[in-house]
Chain A
């Protein structure tokens, strides 16, 4: 009975690997924006004559 109540880990690839989802998605977008922003700003600086 005790064994069935016990929280067992998932033993195959699953979306649990990406938990906590909300935080990860939010941060993923921030990081993407930072990367794109850096590339665009450098290209803009290079266009200054």
Chain B
């Protein structure tokens, strides 16, 4: 039935039921906006670990990595590992991020730069979250389509996943998303590695792989040669640019908001580290699935289907249902986390600030839940605008990386101001548009993330410094409040209160 055994279908429905129960149980813990958006800032190491692993491990990642490795060789692993090089730096930035004591990333722009840029960020953030939601829903549809041989069509999956993800996210907020992340995290780890032994036997181990595939497919950095097509080679230059782009995009997407859930700085650092490293290890499993698939099915029209096909062929009955469930859950937990992020931005930074002010907390909580509904609908519509998951993810990376310089430099450069931030965003977007539309069609390398970002990121940084230095500085009192927060460890809020800079932690 539908390409799945009865036992698989039972497992799938049991999983959906479990998610709804999690949503209902989490509902009891959500009494105000803080609980809904950031879990009341009470998360310990384990929850943060699973949240970082789960929220960063949507169902698109196994597809993306396996598909990229199928196309580029093992160097394709950098499509997911791009954030890994950033981990040591992020470890140092985490306490600073938590000390911001904000609810949303738009709050950062409000605190640091003033009102002009925060609404812009809020609107662009809602758009980029829609793209992300759409990407995840499409990715989920592709896996399920691959696993069921096309018997469960993409549209059905998108609809079911959208509705269930929305249900428990709306009810339980960030707490429900984190608990769902825990479950799907364990499942994805286990099931990803379960695929490897049977595929290994099928291809004849490393010897079989090396007999069939050329040596460059085993290199983590494809050696570039004059003959190589720069648009299809992930060499050291591409890895470096993916890292820089990834670092900036990571800051500007919802990460800063999800990190506000930690109860203290040390908890955040260690929970984050273990969650991220766990994901990097899993990525190796997904990459091998791509490499094995290249030997088993050498001529796939759509490489992104290989993960789903491998799961269908190499997992025993019962487990394929569990893999479909894990893929659904991975997608839905990320959708619900994104939905919480976006609904917080909409409600706090747009609705409560510009449209309906001074209403009770319960009013804004209801608006946040309804905003989540609208977001998933918008995301589903957006999902159909992109031809492939890889293209959609790349577009999201670029969009968010253009906002990143204003965030990162703004943390350390006192003289940076709103004009500089605006200049960096506008200049980088203009340059990207020119490269993509006018140079890309004649020379494909200008369509790649690495070539484009090698131009628009330096341009963004230079324009930030130049314009900031040439224009009026930000208000001193405003900057004092912002930097006092960054210099004051979590738990010492009394210092801020006594200085009259901050009445209480948000």
Report whether chain A binds chain B: yes
Chain A interfacial positions (CB closer than 8 Å to B):
6-14, 16-19, 24, 27-28, 31-32, 34-35, 38-39, 42-43, 46-49
> A22 to nearest B CB, angstroms?
13
B367 contacts the other chain (Cβ, under 8 Å)?
no
* 27 residue pairs bridging A and B, Cβ less than 8 Å apart: A6-B498, A7-B495, A8-B499, A9-B484, A9-B487, A9-B488, A9-B496, A9-B499, A11-B487, A11-B501, A13-B412, A17-B96, A18-B92, A24-B92, A24-B95, A27-B91, A28-B91, A28-B92, A34-B87, A34-B277, A35-B84, A35-B88, A38-B84, A39-B84, A46-B74, A46-B220, A49-B210
Given the interface contacts A35-B84, A46-B220, does A11 sit within 8 Å of B498 by beta carbon?
no
Does the CB pair B479–A11 fall under 8 Å?
yes
Does the CB pair B91–A17 fall under 8 Å?
no
Name the 10 nearest CB pairs between A and B, nearest first: A11-B480, A9-B484, A10-B487, A16-B487, A46-B218, A32-B88, A31-B88, A31-B91, A13-B412, A49-B210
Interface SS, A side: helix
B453 contacts the other chain (Cβ, under 8 Å)?
no
B414 contacts the other chain (Cβ, under 8 Å)?
yes
Give chain A residues whose Cβ lies under 8 Å from the Cβ of B207: 49
Chain B residues within 8 Å of chain A by Cβ, number: 42
Give Cα distance in the complex from A16 to B487, angstroms: 5
Give chain B residues whose Cβ lies under 8 Å from the Cβ of A42: 74, 77, 220, 284
Give chain B residues whose Cβ lies under 8 Å from the Cβ of A17: 95-96, 99, 411, 486-487
Taking CB atoms and an 8 Å cut-off, the chain B residues in 474-490 that contact chain A are 479-481, 483-484, 486-489
Residue of B nearest to A10 (CB): B487
Taking CB atoms and an 8 Å cut-off, the chain B residues in 77-92 that contact chain A are 77, 81, 84-85, 87-88, 91-92
Does the CB pair A31–B281 fall under 8 Å?
no
Give Cα distance in the complex from A11 to B480, angstroms: 4
> B85 to nearest A CB, angstroms?
7
Central interface residue in B88, B99, B479, B488, by most chain A CB within 10 Å: B88
